[in-house]
Structure 1
Amino acid sequence: MRSLTLLCVTALCAACIVALPSRPKKGTGADRVHDSQPSDEAHHAGSEHNSNYDHDAFLGSEEAKKFQALTPEQSRERLRKLVPRVDVDKDGYVTEDELKNWVRFTQHRYIMEDVGRQWTTHDIDQDGMLTWPEYRNTTYGPLTEQQMEQPENAQYKKLFHRDQNRWRKADSNNDQSLTKEEYASFLHPEEYEHMKVLVVDETLEDIDKDKDGSISLQEYIDDMYPPSEHKDSATEPDWVKSEREQFGTYRDKNKDGKMDREEVKDWIIPPDYDHAEAEAKHLIYESDTGEKDGKLTADEIVDKYDLFAGSQATDYGEALNRHEEF
């Protein structure tokens, strides 16, 4: 996945900043809503199947990390111990609904763990509420308005005002502070209906370079394949050619050569698409090798350990190293 690199502009800012705010990543629409589940395009990039997608979706790891390598035997053993947690009714089968609910559970767990990690840094007085001054001071330090206006600090100014807008929207009861749930909507706006308008706004702000309120094909490609990164390349990668086709076929629905606001929304937050349901159907389709009854036994899941968890020399889910799971 292609990610947005945050620019550290000055030594002063770098020293003051404790933790940069969570930001959308560049790449596919789902990448852009930062650490949310990847889109189906990321799941099936071209003709290749991205197994890391399944590992993350099933086991709850939303970030691409390297973990301690497991042998196939270790991976199978730990996965088998995890299966009973997914099989809620304990009938010996994992159904599509149970798998769908598990994927949703791991997604929510990731979000709340992300909130918890950052909360301890920002809630200075430990009163269980997070104020804007607390967040600003721990994130941006003593960066003054005058300093922010300096050209070299333009990136931080943009981040600061983006955070400020998110904060106001996340503060649903307008009490000038955020609860943990409100803070979750601040960090992961794509998961909260009232915050999704900001995801569209931020995407346009990042990609719409000529500020005409839409995204042209060139802006779309440049965002994922910046000219500065391929200035010496004579040929365009196949995935870029594929993205050009995607833009013309699926993104630009009214065929006017650009994505308007509604088309951008459909791109990054697809309507009527249930990620957990789609992932559950996919995992069952790939793993139901026995009676083809639309549900999985522990043996069927373990036999497909590489699909659900991975093993040696691959990225695999963090849950397999969570001793409390077993």
Structure 2
Amino acid sequence: MTDILVSEVGPRDGLQSIDRVMPLEAKKRWIAAEAAAGVKEIEVGSFVPPKLLPQMADTAELVAFARGIEGLNVVALVPNAKGASRAAEAGVHAMSIPFSMSETHSIKNVRKDHPAMIAEIAAASAIAREHDIHFAVGLSTAFGCTMEGAVAEDQVVRLAEKAVEAGAEELSLSDTTGYADPAQVRRLTRKVRAAVGADRLTTLHLHNTRGLGLANVVAGLEEGITTFDASLGGLGGCPFAPGASGNLVTEDLVLMLNAMGLKTGIDLEKLLEVRRIVEEALPGEPLYGFTPDAGPMLDYKQRAAA
């Protein structure tokens, strides 16, 4: 069996996308329950100013809590070097900084053009190194942008190289807008890996906005990608396509990977129970996924054990 890491990003990417603030105790129950189900990595929050994202104001407390869970890799998103300092102080195991491949998106999102973001990545990387924290860069809008449309693949490759030069230990290709298709995933993964090395590009952050999320996962698997981000219940939706699901649904991803005979280490039945915690804490919030409704196949356990 091949080991595949499913990285849960719901407590950050999901919760920052909705208006309501989930209570701290509910977040803790969610994180603990997912870890108990076998999830080995959780992005627990982001170190952004609370004024901008009150949903993330308790991230330092969540880091402290999650660090007490044996075997769990505790990750946080940081928007800049200032956020990296706060993450290091909190004691994260790993941090990730988003770097938009669309300069228009970058300026609108973090008010920095590409040269300014490279400088920010270098500064954040230095902080991570000083504290022995794994440092990753998420290449967001890599597959397309709602402002610019297509993003040139050569530009993605060039900026990926710049990010590594600035100190990125690891890269992920992020389908921020749900534009990716399987052929594009294969092509861009090959190009970036050829430029920076296969060991630098191990992760895909995919969305299911247009129903292509799991197909894009399979394309990534075929290219040797071993880590996939997902959000419980696809929480967060997609601000660019109202009414559409956004993040890849953790439950559907785990069902597919386990049924394919790949090794995630995640107990699907226990994972499905975690959904109740989120439903109770955020009543009425849209949650997505086919597996919670349909359940696993009758021969699922035989497939997963194969």
Q: TM-score, normalised by structure 2?
A: 0.27
Q: Which has the higher helix share?
A: 1
Computing the radius of gyration over CA atoms, which structure comes out larger, 1 or 2?
A: 1
Q: TM-score, normalised by structure 1?
A: 0.26
Q: Which has the higher strand share?
A: 2
Higher relative contact order (CA 8 A, sep 6+): 1
